[in-house]
Structure 1
Amino acid sequence: MKILDVDLLQDGLKRNKAMLERLRNETENIERTVSGLVEMDELLKGAGGNAIRDFYAECHLPFLQFFQLFSVTYLQTLEQMESALQSLEPDPAGYIRQEFLEGELEQGLTLIGNLTEALTNEANSIMDSVSDIVALPHLDDSAVQEGVITSKKKRDDTVQKLNEFDYSQTVSLNPVEQDIQTMDTWLTDIDGMFQSGLTDVHFQPSRWGILANTLKMELEARTSRIPGDTAIQPNNYDLTTMFSTFLIGASPLQFGYGGFIRKPTVLYGPSILGFASLPTHSTTKNINENV
């Protein structure tokens, strides 16, 4: 049995939209920063420097770009859901409980119809018994019975629309869930590389290429470039602080009717990100000399 609480659902949709906007803005900043790191070909040279740039170009940039597309798709889905909700029940305080409509309301309407019919028949029978004394017009309960029939039809229409709304909005969330699963697989694969020590200066593009096909294919199929400002941040921009601040404040993704996606992301923390080994101007020089 389904329940629709308009105020609660609207509040959830608004919170998810606000969260997506925040995450989208933050990932745009992250993408610009990582792009700037990848383009530091003059600072990160040699086998070690190239491996570091390849690591962020192959592992992080596609994920960030894919998330941008995901956030747009998810936001459009939420807006479509708001529109469908408005069509189903425009009252912000609306509350529809299928169990009540098919149970208590059905019983109440049936009782009204039966009781009205019984009382009408009884009254008409009494009037018939005194018809030789005084002629009285019979009572007509047809208006009440029509009202009961109309109410049941409206009840049935409401239940049908509620089920259609539930089904259509659940189906509309399937692509969102698939995108989340794609990103989850991507993060799991990166985590496996971290466990194997194949990141930063030890990054192996050929091995990663075998794992990265699904998300990249999805990314290429949708667009070749994410819209937005692609300006490069200064070389001394604090990458670790920016990533940490973003991730510490990020909430788990919510979708559907209260569902959660919780995944310990491999992007947490400078040690996992590999930013601890990101060279400053002085250490970059040492890398170039040693490679």
Structure 2
Amino acid sequence: MKVLDVKDLLLGIQHTSNQLNILKNQIKHVQMAIKEFIVSHEDSFKGDGGRSIINFYQESHLPFLLFFESWIEDYQSYLNSLENTINDFESSPAGFIRQEFLENELQLGLRNTLQITSELTKEANEVIKTVSDIVPLPLLEDNRFIQASMHAQDSSRGTVEKLEAFDHRETAALDPLLKNLDNMEEYIKKWLACSKAATYLWPIISQELLIGRISMMKYRILVHKGSKVSFKIWLKEPLRGLLKL
């Protein structure tokens, strides 16, 4: 069953956006460190071996970090879009929608109210009929109440449909982010295979650490996609490990 807690969700978006900004700055610092390393060692790293180390940073490491930075920007764009969509879907910052309540408790309450109202109206009209010769009273009508109750039932069903469509649409929008996380993970695994013995190629950032952080982020997003509670798990702590790069 889906739950939309607007306040909690918006706080989660803001928290994640702040973490992404920190991560983006950290990546920029790593990029600067690599560029400084290349400049400071370009003259001393002669020959094929030295050149291969410089090429590794220029052709593999820096492009990867640029791709990672681009991925963060895509993630931020997704969060901005999500925030706008939430505001369109539920304008109240304190809005709270629980599918289970709309489908079960509310529907049951409306049905019981309709039944009770119908019975009371019938009983009242029977009493009115018995005194109609003495006091001419109009019979009670419950048509308006029935129409209002049916409208409430339709409205609650419509809200559930919109909530499920909202959740499906926003979780589907995570697929490209997940795909690019997979690509980054595979890219790092190839680094691991190619440079298993050449530990000197990684003086600035550990590929084991990086792949672990990317895997954790992917896990967080997958948990969200499989969760029946809209966005609550995924948005809370998706980047904490990555900030330790």
Q: Same fold (TM over 0.5)?
A: yes
Q: What corresponds to 2:49 in structure 1?
A: 48
What does residue 182 of structure 1 align with?
183
Superimposed CA distance per residue, residues 198-242 of structure 1 (whole angstroms, 9 cap, x where no aligned partner): 4647x9xxxxxxxxxxxxxxxxxxxxxxxxxxxxxxxxxxx85xx
State TM-score, norm by structure 1. Answer: 0.69
Q: Does structure 1 residue 16 correspond to structure 2 residue 10?
A: no
Aligned residue in 1 for 2:34: 34
Change (3 A) 1:106 1:51: same
Q: TM-score, normalised by structure 2?
A: 0.81
The answer to whether the Cα contact below 8 Å between 1:51 and 1:200 also exists between their aligned partners in 2 is no
Q: Size of the alignment, in residue pairs?
A: 224
- The SS at the match of 2:195 is helix
Q: Which runs of 4+ in 1 moved over 4 A?
A: 198-201, 259-262
Structure 1 Cα separation of the partners of residues 93 and 132 of structure 2: 55
Alignment of 1:162-177 (within 5 A): 162-177=163-178
Show structure 2 runs of 5+ residues with no match.
225-230
Structure whose residues are more often helix by fraction = 2
2:149 & 2:173 partners in 1: Cα distance? Answer: 36
Larger Rg: 1
SS in 2 for 1:103: helix
Q: Which moved more, 1:55-64 or 1:161-170?
A: 55-64
How do 1:31-180 residues align onto structure 2 when only pairs under 5 Å count?
Answer: 31-39=31-39, 40-180=41-181
Cα drift, residue 157 of structure 1: 1.5
- Verify the 8 A CA contact 2:2 2:99 in the aligned structure 1: yes
Contact 1:38/1:54 (<8 A) preserved: no
CA deviation after TM superposition for structure 1 residue 51, in Å: 1.7
- CA deviation profile, 1:86-138 (whole Å, cap 9, x unmatched): 11122222221111110010000111111111111111111112212221111
Which shifted more, 114-123 or 250-259?
A: 250-259
Gapped runs of 5+ residues in structure 1? 204-238, 269-291
Secondary structure at the residue paired with 1:64? helix
Look up the SS of the partner of 2:4 in the other structure: strand
In structure 2, C-alpha distance between the alignment counterparts of 1:55 and 1:77, rounded to whole Å: 32
Q: Is the CA contact (8 Å cut-off) linking 1:55 and 1:200 kept in structure 2?
A: no
